[in-house]
Structure formats: C-alpha cells, structure tokens
Amino acid sequence: MAYTKLLYHIVLRTHQGTAPIVEAHEKNLYRFIHGFCKNHQCLLYRINGMPDHIHMFVSIPPFISVAAFVHDLKIATHNYIKANRDLFPSFVKWERGYCALSYAESQRKTVTNYIINQKNHHRRKSVRDELISQLREGGVEFDETYV
C-alpha cells in the first residue's frame, strides 16, 4: 500500500500576460476548474487569481503527473473559455509554461491564505515579481527571460 499526499501550488498565466479573466466571471471559470479536479480525483483546496493568471492549491493523486494534470487542465479550460466566449472575449490561450511548487500538509494553511489574498497581494507586487520570489523561495532554477 502506498501512502501519499501530494500538494501543489500551481500558477497558470494567460498568453503574453493579457487580462481576459474578468472579475465578474472568474467564479464561473473557478467552478469549472473545481469540477475538472473532482473528475480527475484531485482535491482543490483553493483557487483565486487576477485577470492575467490563476493560482490553485491542489492535491493530485500519485498516478497523475503534475505535467499531465496541467496539460489536461489547460486544454479543458481553453475549451471551456472558448465555449463561453461572451464571458471571456479577449482570451487567446494559456502561456506554454506554468509554475508548480510542492508543499507539505503543515504548509497548507499558509498557502491557502496566500491564494485567498491574491487581489490584495497584487496591489503591492506584479505577477512577474511574485513568480520570481516563489521560484527563488522554492529553490527552483529558472531563466528570468521566460518569467
């Protein structure tokens, strides 16, 4: 028997940092993502974001890789947004990359609070600066050109 709990903070950006996720309709997208997670045996603890990116804290089962989860999520949300073009008229696509950082259960409250407070947080910090900080804190090697 394998005992696992794999928790990830995942950040997806819209293509070229455009801002198509309007606050009036973001909850529709978040509900869709919640359903996607349930259908893939994942537990979505928290989701929130800004017009140009979303943050989610999710538990992914060990038989699904993070890369496969994000790939399938991007396709599903892209199709959902395109089918609801009236809600997200300026959406083109997601950026090719993504950020996924792993956390322990003991850090769950800290990460969920961070995600809850996204809108306040971004009054002080740009998405680029935020991602760079998170990558550095997570010990992830990266090239700032692509952030």
CATH of the domain at 25: 3.30.70.1290
- Of the ranges 3-7, 33-37, 109-113, 123-127, which one carries the lowest mean pLDDT score? 123-127
Q: What is the pLDDT of residue 146?
A: 66
The residues, ordered by sequence, that sit 6+ positions from 103 with a Cβ below 8 Å of its Cβ are 7, 8, 9, 57, 111
Of the spans 67-71, 120-124, 129-133, which averages the highest pLDDT? 67-71
Within a domain: 72: yes
Q: What is the pLDDT of residue 124?
A: 77
Beta-strand pair 43-50/53-59 = antiparallel
* Segment 67-85 mean pLDDT: 97
Q: What pTM was computed for the model?
A: 0.86
Within a domain: 74: yes
Q: What is the pLDDT of residue 82?
A: 95
Q: What is the pLDDT of residue 119?
A: 82
Within a domain: 2: no
Within a domain: 11: yes
Q: What is the DSSP string of 13-54?
A: EBGGG-----TTTHHHHHHHHHHHHHHTT-EEEEEEEETTEE
The residues, ordered by sequence, that sit 6+ positions from 26 with a Cβ below 8 Å of its Cβ are 49
Buried b (16+ CB within 10 A) or exposed e, 60-79: beeeeebeebbeebbebbee
Q: What is the pLDDT of residue 80?
A: 97
Tell me the pLDDT tens digit for each residue of 78-90: 999 999 999 999 9
Q: What is the pLDDT of residue 128?
A: 74
Within a domain: 119: yes
* Residue 119 belongs to domain spanning: 7-146
Q: What is the pLDDT of residue 130?
A: 76
Within a domain: 96: yes
H-type helices in the chain, by residue range? Answer: 26-39, 66-83, 108-116, 118-121, 127-137
Within a domain: 1: no
State how many domains the chain has: 1
* Segment 30-45 mean pLDDT: 98
Within a domain: 55: yes
CA distance 58 to 49: 14
